[in-house]
């Protein structure tokens, strides 16, 4: 049994009064009612601060105040799920990592925990910035509306994108679990820590996560040589799509909820990733990484647009300014 939320891109306004736009960041103190039954739990972006009796049937769970974040990243779950637990090295501090699933699927969560630990430790080193939150929960949700969603500190997945065992799943299933985890955890920095100012620059979130997921997966499963698959899985499909009349620039003006939803597409994800791969190959791996770290540090807990990202690359690579017309 589970009740869960998914607010991206414009649905937080249906759950609580808010300025439901990505650049209207705020801190949250969440209160949830849950049944008193021992097997029911309440989850949100931050750890539980206290649990009090509300009435004969329900408890009131209060969570710690969050960091400043966009409305679409908030999440609430009440369920009877159970979890496995480990921790990861967060720049010298051990941060708890839990994987939740329905009781019958708990034995399928081990691989997800192992992959997430390796990926998140790689990202902490790659970005040069510690994971910003005090915990990381991942939840396998039956019939989840999206493949996964990067709610900060409480990442939600379809069961097919998080659960795996050697005896019941194929190697393709295993690769999907690893790559989706790597994608969602990349958002902890690109998208959550630094968020696009408006949905016009969605590619900054999704294109980067779609590219860096290959690096994260490679760190977790180096024998797969996952980087060699990029051209087939991401570049070639988008070349065909980008030649059609229905294509659009990676930075595109959107105003309505329907328009915003429409750009969660192959252009924002795959073309965005392909542009970043080309950019990294142009300026060099070290310079690209330096520019990314500078960008994240400069705009941490805030918002940015494409020009802000390019400016940080240019600050590291002086000749880059002359290349911009040929790349973007």
As a whole number of angstroms, the distance between CA 165 and CA 153 comes to 24
How confident is the model at residue 328, as a pLDDT?
A: 58
Q: Of how many residues is the chain composed?
A: 328
pLDDT given at position 321: 66
Q: Residue 324 above 70 pLDDT?
A: no
Query: Is the pLDDT reported for residue 114 higher than 80?
Result: yes
Q: The sheet that has 58-63: what strands, in order across it?
A: 31-35, 58-63, 48-53
Of 186, 209, 226, which closes a domain? 186
Domain match, 168 and 221 both = no
Considering the domain architecture, whether residues 239 and 175 belong to the same structural domain is answered as no
Domain that holds residue 147: 2-186
- Give CA–CA dist 89/243, Å, rounded: 44
User: Which pLDDT score, from 0 to 100, does residue 323 have?
Assistant: 62
Task: Give yes or no for a contact between 99 and 138, defined as CB atoms under 8 angstroms apart.
Answer: yes
**CATH number for the domain including 81?**
3.30.2010.30
pLDDT value, residue 37: 83
> How far is residue 305's CA from residue 293's CA, in Å, rounded to a whole number?
16
pLDDT in tens, 234-273: 999 999 999 999 899 999 999 999 999 999 999 999 999 9
Give the residue numbers annotated as catalytic, written as ranges: 184
Res 325 pLDDT > 90: no
pLDDT over threshold 60, residue 327: no
Q: Return the pLDDT at 270.
A: 97
- Residues annotated in the binding site, as ranges? 183, 187, 206
Last residue in a domain, options 186, 221, 246: 186
| pLDDT value of position 27 | 98
- Let me know whether 276 and 177 are in one domain: no
Across 284-290, average pLDDT = 97
Query: Which helix (H) or strand (E) segment is 325 a member of?
Result: helix 324-327
pLDDT number for residue 243: 93
For residues 179-205, average pLDDT? 98
Which pLDDT belongs to residue 46?
Answer: 99
**So what's the pLDDT on residue 38?**
80
- Structure confidence at residue 320 as a pLDDT band (50, 70, 90): low
At 318 the pLDDT is 78
Instruction: List the alpha helices (DSSP H) in 167-227.
Output: 171-186, 202-220
Domain boundary among 186, 212, 241: 186
Residue 164 shares a structural domain with residue 198: no
pLDDT at 122: 99
Global pTM value: 0.96
Q: In the structure, what pLDDT confidence band is assigned to residue 163 with cuts at 50, 70 and 90? A: very high
Task: State whether 23 and 144 are in the same domain.
Answer: yes
CA dist 174 and 164 (Å) reads 6
Question: Does residue 176 share a domain with residue 42?
Answer: yes
* Residue 326 clears pLDDT 90, i.e. is over it: no
Do 12 and 145 share a domain, yes or no?
A: yes
DSSP characters for 104-116?
A: GGGGG-HHHHHHH
Mean pLDDT of 316-320: 78
Same domain, residue pair 10 and 154: yes
Mean pLDDT value of segment 133-146: 96
**Structural domain tally of the chain?**
2
Tell whether 68 and 167 lie within a shared domain.
yes
Annotated binding site for Zn(2+): 183, 187, 206
Residues 208 and 288 occupy one common structural domain: yes
φ, ψ for residue 33, nearest 5 deg: -90, 135
Verify that 31 and 177 share a domain, yes or no.
Answer: yes
- The helix or strand, by DSSP H or E, that contains position 84, with its residue range, turns out to be strand 82-90
CATH of the domain at 213: 1.10.390.10
The terminus-to-terminus CA distance of the chain in angstroms comes to 47
Strand partners, 78: 3, 42
């Amino acid at each position: 049994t589970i009740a869960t939320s998914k607010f991206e891109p414009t649905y937080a306004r249906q759950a609580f009064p808010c300025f439901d736009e990505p650049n209207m960041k705020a801190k949250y103190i969440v209160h949830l009612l849950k049944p008193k039954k021992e097997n029911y739990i309440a989850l949100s972006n931050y750890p539980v601060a206290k649990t009090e009796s509300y009435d004969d049937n329900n408890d009131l769970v209060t969570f710690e105040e969050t960091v400043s974040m966009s409305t679409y990243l908030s999440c609430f779950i009440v369920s009877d799920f159970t979890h496995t637990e480990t921790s990861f090295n967060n720049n010298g501090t051990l941060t708890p990592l839990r994987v939740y699933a329905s009781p019958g699927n708990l034995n399928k969560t081990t691989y997800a925990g192992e992959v997430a630990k390796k990926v998140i430790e790689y990202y902490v080193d790659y970005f040069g910035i510690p994971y910003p939150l005090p915990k990381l929960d991942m939840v396998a949700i039956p019939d989840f509306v999206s493949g996964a969603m990067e709610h900060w500190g409480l990442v939600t997945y379809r069961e097919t994108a998080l659960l795996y065992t050697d005896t019941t799943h194929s190697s393709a299933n295993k690769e999907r679990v690893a790559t989706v985890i790597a994608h969602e955890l990349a958002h902890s920095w690109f998208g959550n820590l630094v968020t696009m100012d408006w949905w016009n620059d969605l590619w900054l979130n999704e294109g980067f996560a779609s590219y860096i997921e290959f690096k994260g997966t490679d760190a977790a499963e180096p024998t797969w040589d996952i980087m060699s698959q990029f051209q087939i899985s991401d570049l070639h499909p988008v070349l065909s799509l980008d030649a059609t009349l229905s294509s659009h620039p990676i930075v595109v003006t959107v105003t309505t909820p329907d328009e915003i939803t429409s750009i969660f597409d192959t252009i924002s994800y795959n073309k965005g990733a392909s542009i970043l791969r080309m950019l990294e190959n142009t300026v060099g791996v070290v310079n690209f990484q330096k520019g990314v770290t500078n960008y994240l540090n400069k705009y941490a807990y805030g918002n940015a647009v494409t020009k802000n990202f390019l400016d940080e690359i240019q600050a590291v690579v002086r000749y880059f300014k002359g290349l911009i017309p040929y790349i973007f």
